[in-house]
Amino acid sequence: MKINSIILENFRNYKNLELDFDDSRNIIVGENAQGKTNLIEAIYLTAFARSFRTNNSAELVMFGEDSGRVSTDITSEDIEKNINIVIRSDGKKMIKKDGKAIRKTTELLNNVVVIIFSPDDLRIIKDSPEKRRTFINRELSQMRPRYYEVFRRYSDALRQKNAILKGYFNIKKKTFTRADNLSLNDISPYDNSRQYNVEMLDVFDRQLADNGYEIIRYRKEFAEMLSQEAGEIMNKISGGREELRIEYKTSCDFITGTEGRDILYKQFYHNREKDIYNGYATLGPHRDDIEFYINGKDAKKYGSQGQQRTIALSLKLAEIRIARQILDESPVLLLDDVLSELDLDRQRFLVSEIDDVQLFITSAELNEDVIKDLRGGTLFRVENGTITRVDKY
């Protein structure tokens, strides 16, 4: 997969930019706050229809303008495609592929697979479970279109279930001072719509079980692949001293096979009073996590900062390998200001592992040796929303 060229109009600090990219290596250097990450963000937008640093698309439109535009020519499966995204200042987006409107994000997701590595990712081991779930959701949504669908359905059902649970919770707060032994029946005299709500909870729990089952199955499979690939990479980086294992930890009783969904449903059903007590859904893949072990020890608790960063690097490289296996094509890799966060050995290891991937690297400055390692590429300089091609090296 390749990003061939890009046009930006009123996107962040780019008034008007047209740029052809190198098939292999694009090195984008510039001082702080000149527009390096903004360019990476535009490429990311082409792949995901959203930014990686804001949920509010309105921020992407240049200050004071009514709309902004990102138009990208890409090649995937040997076919050239154009993705055109117009963002209005109210945050609405209009996406076209080859001139035809796209209404579902799934239609966009598998056109070009982009993996981003930024300094934030280096903290993934120490970060909250939510960050690790976002990581896994992002990757699976791109590589498994069905995952995105089931995840969306799960999220819808979860939102509606939580709304009902919150309703109970508010009644409880008003009615009881000691709510310890609260149950559905206790609430009933005060809640006229109890019967309706119980029925709806049941509907949502069914949907959560059906879609949640698939989510957990996909994630477990992905975690196993990660464990295998990242383990191998970690082994290489550490000269065989560090054995990495990755495990998906679910909050639910999960078994694969035909009863899997029913078992999940029953669990949600039996957990209902606890959910009501808490005012939100306490079980399900939205509460799950990924765990990392180095030589059998929990890396979140016992790993050094250096080890945690090496795991993060191994994870990214593993993602690339997995994308290749699943897609039969190399993904595009975006390295946003992350090289300078790694020591020289790690930088050179990274560069040596990604020979056949189209690469976008941003940095305030780059080490000479690393530039030599990156033989064959194009150097761009960013200054205040303009980009000039400096050199082919």
Sites of contact with Mg ion (CB under 5 A): 36-37, 337
59 near ligand ADP, judged by CB under 6 A:
yes
Q: How far apart are CA 116 and CA 114, in angstroms?
A: 6
Cα–Cα separations (whole angstroms), residue 133 to 151, 287, 348: 12, 9, 29
Please report how close the Cβ of residue 44 comes to ligand ADP at its closest, in angstroms. Answer: 12
Q: Which of ligand ADP, Mg ion, none sits in contact with 255, Cβ below 5 to 8 A by type?
A: none
Nearer to Mg ion, 244 or 338 (CB): 338
Stretches 55-63, 110-118, 185-193, 269-277: which one binds ligand ADP (CB under 6 A)?
55-63
Per-residue binding letters, 127-156, with ligand ADP (x by CB under 6 A):
------------------------------
Nearer to ligand ADP, 53 or 300 (CB): 53
DSSP 4-44: EEEEEEEETTEEEEEEEPPSSEEEEE--TTSSHHHHHHHHH
Cα–Cα separations (whole angstroms), residue 387 to 18, 43, 337, 340: 9, 15, 17, 21
Q: Which of Mg ion, ligand ADP, none sits in contact with 185, Cβ below 5 to 8 A by type?
A: none
Nearer to ligand ADP, 285 or 385 (CB): 385
Q: Are 187 and 172 in contact (CB under 8 A)?
A: yes
Structure tokens at 332: 């595009």
Closest CA relative to residue 232, chosen from 317, 355, 105:
317
Nearer to ligand ADP, 10 or 347 (CB): 10
Please report how close the Cβ of residue 35 comes to ligand ADP at its closest, in angstroms. Answer: 4
| Cβ neighbours around 349 below 10 Å, total | 20
Nearer to Mg ion, 22 or 337 (CB): 337
Q: Which of Mg ion, ligand ADP, none sits in contact with 26, Cβ below 5 to 8 A by type?
A: none
Q: Are 188 and 158 in contact (CB under 8 A)?
A: no
51 near ligand ADP, judged by CB under 6 A:
no
Contact residues for ligand ADP (CB under 6 A)?
Answer: 12-13, 30, 32-38, 59, 61-63
